[in-house]
């Protein structure tokens, strides 16, 4: 009996090294540990052992079973853990990787630039801390114009201020270049106003100017209509309304049909069916003269968009402050 025990022990030990996969483990279990396996078989034989030998043989058998079970358990643990490491469930959904994205206002600025560059405009920039001269005087604002009021303008000193629009860059670029000049000027502007759903103290504009021989109002209209169709969609309807700006003559504002109600009238368009999207006009001869151009020889048009306003209109957002609260739940929608 002891010989048989040692044989089984030797056989189990001999196989230990080959127990590297589930099949081998199962074969081992069946041949040694199962109900019809060799260990159980030896326990069966215990009946034939004499009473005197039984305690010693029983003890040896128990030790054998413990050892064989140990071989099996150890090998199984190794196989199981390596299976976990190597098996990949390709049907599981991926873990989301949150990549940041451009802010809606930046996206819009880029879109303005893309569209106008494709129409032959350069992109130029000017200072945000501006002189009274470029912000107002050079643009024909009379000395008593309400826009100069402390209410609207952040003054740094009596003659230096935070620009209230990007229009002064028109003057700066025309002073530097000879016609033809065709450029847009995106940038940040500042107004000393109460923050509300409709206004902020800091926002963005995109001004544009084109001066050359024989530039007409019809070209202004054509350019703004082309932009509006690219940006808002080719099915929009538009209209031009006479308006007033000190630096353009004549001046006009362009409206498009309200995106929300398609012209029927709603809260967003204040029940008019129309939304104003841009101020514009023909560059005032005084300004052409001031930058050293001859208004008899060249003419030009100009326009100015409010960027945040454009964003609100296009996406149907009803509070401008949402753009700067930086709530990711809002921003990630765009
Ligand atoms: N600067 C104007 C504003 O801040 C917008 C504007 C209107 C700009 C007409 C222009 C223009 O260049 O021609 O409201």
How does pLDDT run across 255-310, given as a tens digit for each residue?
Answer: 998 877 778 887 777 888 888 999 999 999 999 999 999 999 999 999 999 999 88
Residue 223 CB–ligand 1 contact under 6 Å: no
Residue 31: the pLDDT is 92
Q: Per residue in 240-258, pLDDT tens?
A: 999 999 999 999 999 998 8
Residue 290: the pLDDT is 96
Q: Which of 246, 300, 252 is nearest to 276 (CA)?
A: 252
The answer to whether residue 73 scores a pLDDT higher than 80 is yes
The answer to whether residue 69 scores a pLDDT higher than 80 is yes
**Average pLDDT of span 194-199:** 87
**Average pLDDT of span 177-199:** 94
Specify the pTM.
Answer: 0.72
For CA atoms 32, 38, 39, 41, give the dihedral sign. Answer: positive
Residue 134: the pLDDT is 97
Residue 280 CB–ligand 1 contact under 6 Å: yes
pLDDT band at 2 (very low <50, low <70, confident <90, very high): confident
Residue 110: the pLDDT is 96
**How far is the centre of ligand 1, averaged over its atoms, from the C-alpha of 316 (Å)?**
23
Q: State the CATH architecture for 104-331.
A: 2-Layer Sandwich (3.30)
Evaluate whether 205 touches 145 at the Cβ level (below 8 Å): no
Q: What's the mean pLDDT when you consider all of the chain? A: 92
**How far is the centre of ligand 1, averaged over its atoms, from the C-alpha of 55 (Å)?**
107
State the Cα–Cα distance between residues 8 and 95, nearest whole angstrom: 50
The answer to whether residue 315 scores a pLDDT higher than 90 is no
**Average pLDDT of span 166-189:** 98
pLDDT band at 123 (very low <50, low <70, confident <90, very high): very high
**How far is the centre of ligand 1, averaged over its atoms, from the C-alpha of 102 (Å)?**
27
- From 130, 245, 305, the mutation candidate for ligand 1 (largest count of ligand atoms within 8 A of CB) is 245
**How far is the centre of ligand 1, averaged over its atoms, from the C-alpha of 271 (Å)?**
25
Q: Which two tokens stand for residue 277?
A: 């999207």
State the Cα–Cα distance between residues 106 and 1, nearest whole angstrom: 87
For CA atoms 162, 128, 325, 303, give the dihedral sign. Answer: positive
State the Cα–Cα distance between residues 113 and 183, nearest whole angstrom: 10
Residue 300 CB–ligand 1 contact under 6 Å: no
Residue 153 CB–ligand 1 contact under 6 Å: no
**How far is the centre of ligand 1, averaged over its atoms, from the C-alpha of 278 (Å)?**
8
Residue 30: the pLDDT is 93
Residue 220 CB–ligand 1 contact under 6 Å: no
Residue 329: the pLDDT is 92
Residue 164: the pLDDT is 96
* Number of residues that this document lists for the chain: 334
The answer to whether residue 32 scores a pLDDT higher than 90 is yes
Evaluate whether 204 touches 186 at the Cβ level (below 8 Å): yes
When mean pLDDT is compared over 54-68, 108-122, 146-160, the highest value belongs to: 108-122
Evaluate whether 166 touches 186 at the Cβ level (below 8 Å): yes
Residue 132 CB–ligand 1 contact under 6 Å: no
Residue 89: the pLDDT is 84
What one-character-per-residue DSSP string does 270-334 give?
Answer: TTSSEEEEEEEEEEPHHHHHHTT--TTT-EEEEEEEEHHHHHHHHHT---GGGGGS--HHHHTT-
State the Cα–Cα distance between residues 252 and 267, nearest whole angstrom: 24
The answer to whether residue 160 scores a pLDDT higher than 80 is yes
**Average pLDDT of span 93-121:** 93
Residue 166: the pLDDT is 98
């Amino acid at each position: 009996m002891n010989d048989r025990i040692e044989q089984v022990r030797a056989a189990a030990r001999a196989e230990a090294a080959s127990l590297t996969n589930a099949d081998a483990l199962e074969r081992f279990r069946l041949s040694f540990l199962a109900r019809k396996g060799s260990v159980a078989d030896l326990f069966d034989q215990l009946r034939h052992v004499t009473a005197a030998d039984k305690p010693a043989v029983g003890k040896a058998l128990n030790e054998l079973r413990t050892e064989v079970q140990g071989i099996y358990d150890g090998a199984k643990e190794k196989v199981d853990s390596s299976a976990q490491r190597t098996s990949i469930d390709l049907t599981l959904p991926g873990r989301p990787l949150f990549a940041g994205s451009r802010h809606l206002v930046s996206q819009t600025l880029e879109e303005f630039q893309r569209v106008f560059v494709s129409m032959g405009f350069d992109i130029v920039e000017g200072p945000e801390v501006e002189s009274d001269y470029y912000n107002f005087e050079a643009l024909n604002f009379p000395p008593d114009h309400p826009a100069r009021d402390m209410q609207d303008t952040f003054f740094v000193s009596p003659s230096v201020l935070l620009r209230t629009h990007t229009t002064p860059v028109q003057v700066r670029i025309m002073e530097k270049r000879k016609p033809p000049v065709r450029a847009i000027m995106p940038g940040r502007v500042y107004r000393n106003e109460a923050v509300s759903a409709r206004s902020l103290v800091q926002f963005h504009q995109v001004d544009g100017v084109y001066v050359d021989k024989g530039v007409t109002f019809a070209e202004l209209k054509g350019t703004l209509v082309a932009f509006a169709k690219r940006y808002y969609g080719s099915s929009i309807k538009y209209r031009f309304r006479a308006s007033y700006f000190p630096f353009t003559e004549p001046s006009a504002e362009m409206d498009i049909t309200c995106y929300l109600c398609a012209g029927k009238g709603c809260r967003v368009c204040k029940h008019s069916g129309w939304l104003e999207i841009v101020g514009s006009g023909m560059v005032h001869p005084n300004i052409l003269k001031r930058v050293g151009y001859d208004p008899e020889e060249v003419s030009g048009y100009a326009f100015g968009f409010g960027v945040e306003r454009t964003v609100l209109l296009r996406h149907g957002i009803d509070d401008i402050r949402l753009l700067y609260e930086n709530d990711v739940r809002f921003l990630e929608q765009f």
